[in-house]
């Protein structure tokens, strides 16, 4: 992410955070449109999952200017997701659902530049998690 994108993520998050219930509900509605997610996450406490999503995004926003400090946490999260049998294709639909939910929540404030900033932020997070998942699978196969 470039510095302008960091500023856009920081500036746009408070509006989405102020409407957490709507934002997270919309996110999961869009996510469940993808047939690969149906039944997977519905087995968990959705209220708790929505809260975790909002908290995780707040952490990402707060670390957007220094994503390196997220690497250990995202690596651990990626390894946990490997154990949950998350597939790499799931990341694409999560990114799409995130951007669509932000667009719905932010309305006309969700400009092309804001969209690109959030896409870059998510891309960085997903990249770290995918790498950790792949490493976890390799370690599991080697054991």
The three-point CA angle 90-96-102 to 5° equals: 135
Single pTM value for the model:
0.86
Q: What is the pLDDT along the chain (143 residues), one digit of tens a residue?
A: 899 999 999 999 999 999 999 999 999 989 887 655 555 555 567 888 899 999 999 999 999 888 788 898 888 888 887 777 777 788 899 999 999 999 999 999 999 999 999 999 999 999 999 888 887 656 665 66
Q: Are 12 and 98 in contact (CB under 8 A)?
A: no
**Sign (positive/negative) of CA torsion 11, 22, 89, 85?**
positive
- The structure tokens listed for 44 are 């968990």
**pLDDT value of position 84:** 72
Q: Which domains does the chain have, with CATH numbers?
A: 3-142 (1.10.490.10)
């Amino acid at each position: 992410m470039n510095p302008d994108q960091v500023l856009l993520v920081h500036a746009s998050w408070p509006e989405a955070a102020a409407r957490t219930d709507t934002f997270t509900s919309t996110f999961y509605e869009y996510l469940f449109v993808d047939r690969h997610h149906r039944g997977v996450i519905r087995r968990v406490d959705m209220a708790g999952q929505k809260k975790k999503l909002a908290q995780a995004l707040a952490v990402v926003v707060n670390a957007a200017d220094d994503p390196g400090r997220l690497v250990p946490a995202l690596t651990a999260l990626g390894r946990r997701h490997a154990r949950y049998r998350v597939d790499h294709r799931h990341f694409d639909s999560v990114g799409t659902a995130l951007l669509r939910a932000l667009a719905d929540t932010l309305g006309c404030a969700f400009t092309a530049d804001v969209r690109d900033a959030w896409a870059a932020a998510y891309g960085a997070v997903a990249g770290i998690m995918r790498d950790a998942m792949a490493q976890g699978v390799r370690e599991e196969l080697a054991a």
